[in-house]
Amino acid sequence: MRMKRGALSGIGLAAVLALGPAQAADEAENVWRLFVADRNAPVMHVLDAASGETIESFTLESQGRLYASESGETVFAVQADGNVAVAFSTGITEDDHGDHADLDITAPKALDAKIAGEKPVHFVAHHGEIAIFFDGEGVARVVREADLAAGGAQPRLVETADPHHGVAIPMGAYTIVSVPDEEDPSRLPVGVRVLDADGQPVGEIAECPGLHGEAASGRVVAIACDTGLLIVRAPGGTPEIDHLAYDASLPDDAKVSTLVGGRGLQYFLGNFGSSAVVLIDPEDETPFRLIEIPLRRVHFAVDPVRAKFAYVLTEDGRLHQIDVLAGEIVKSAAVTEPYSMDGHWNDPRPRIAVAGDEVIVTDPLNGVLHALDARSLEETREIPLAGAPYEIVAVGGSGAVHD
C-alpha cells in the first residue's frame, strides 16, 4: 500500500501535529468529543471524551444516523423518518500555522442548516462539500461546509430519473450520481453517471449493478457493485471511472456492500459476506486481500491516527485489530456481551469510533460506552450513558489550546 499524505482524518480533525519551538510555552492538548445518537429516542448527546461527561444533548426529529465532515468541524444527524438532515458545529476548529496547529474550542451547537426532503439516507462528504441523497425523491442536496458555519447554506439540487436508494458524490465542478433501475427503481441502482456543474451528463453511464456502498481514500473514490468496484479518479479535474473486477480467488457468493476509506494509507476496507472483510488497494497488483473473521461482523472502522490499524467487532462481542499492511488480525479482546446479527438490520448493536488513543464501542443494551487502548485493546474504562447509545462519531485532534 502506498503512503499518502492525509489531510484531516475521516472521523476527526488532523491527527497529532507537532508544536513548533515558538509554541514551547503552549502545551499541546488532546481534545476529542463523542457524538452519540440514541437507538430508541430522538436525541443526540455530545460527550467530552477525556472525562466522559455530557457537554450537551440535542433533541432530534427521529432516530439519527451520524456523520462527520472531512474537517471534523461539522456533524450531521441524518433523520430518515424525520425527513431532515441537521448540521451541528462540533465546537472544535483547527487553525493551521504550518509548523504547528492551534485548536479553538467552543460549545457544540445546532447550526441554522436543516436540509429537508423525503427520506434522507446516504451522506457523502467530499472536497469540502456535503451531499445528502433523499431516497423518497431521487434527488441529492449538496452544500458547502464553509457555508454551513456562515449560516448561508443554500443547497443545490442534483436530480436523477426516479426515487431510489441512491448516492451522490461531489467532485469539484462535477457530481457523480447513481442511475436507478429503469424497470424497477425500488431495486438497487445499476450504475453511475457524471454530471457537470449545470447538471448535464458527461460521458456514458458506468455500469455498476447492485450499487451499494462508497468511500474515499486519498484522491480516490470507490463504489461497490455486484461485479467489483468502480474506481474514480480526477487527475485533470474531470472524473475518470474504471471498473475493478473482483479477483477470481474471492468467494463467488458474496460482494462488497459497505466501504470505509483508509486514512494516511490509501486503501479501502469492505465487508465480504457476513464473516469476512476485504482490504482493497486499487494500485496494487493484487488489489483484494480477504480476511476471514471468527463470527459474523457487527461493525468495522479504520484508525485515522494509527494508519495501519482497522477494527472489526464480531457478534460474540469481541473487537479485532487488523494490521492492514500484514492483512491479518493481530489482536482480539472481549468488549461487550454477544449481539446476534439475526433480526432487523437496525436492531440496537454496537458501533465503533476512534478518539485519539482510544477505541470507543457503544453498548446500547447496557447503556455504556467502552473505551479501549487503541494499541493494546485493553479496556481502560466504561462511560455510562442513559438510554441506548448507538450511532457514534468522534471528532478532535491535538494542538495548542490558548486561553
Q: Could you read off the pLDDT of 155-207 as tens digits, one per residue?
A: 999 999 999 999 999 999 999 999 999 999 999 999 999 999 999 999 999 99
Residue 132: is its pLDDT beyond 90? Answer: yes
Q: Residue 4 pLDDT more than 90? A: no
Whole-structure pTM value:
0.91
> Cα separation of 250 and 292, whole Å?
11
The pLDDT tens digits of the residues spanning 98-116 come to 555 688 999 999 998 899 9
CA distance 97 to 192: 40
Question: Does residue 285 surpass a pLDDT of 60?
Answer: yes
The gap between the terminal CA atoms of the chain, to the nearest Å, is: 41
For the chain, the residue count is 403
Half-sphere exposure of 390 (CA within 13 A, CB side): 20
Domains contained in the chain, CATH given = 21-400 (2.130.10.10)
- Model confidence pLDDT, tens digit, residues 339-381: 999 999 999 999 999 999 999 999 999 999 999 999 999 999 9
Contact (CB, 8 A) for 333 and 373: no
The answer to whether 111 touches 96, Cβ cutoff 8 Å, is no
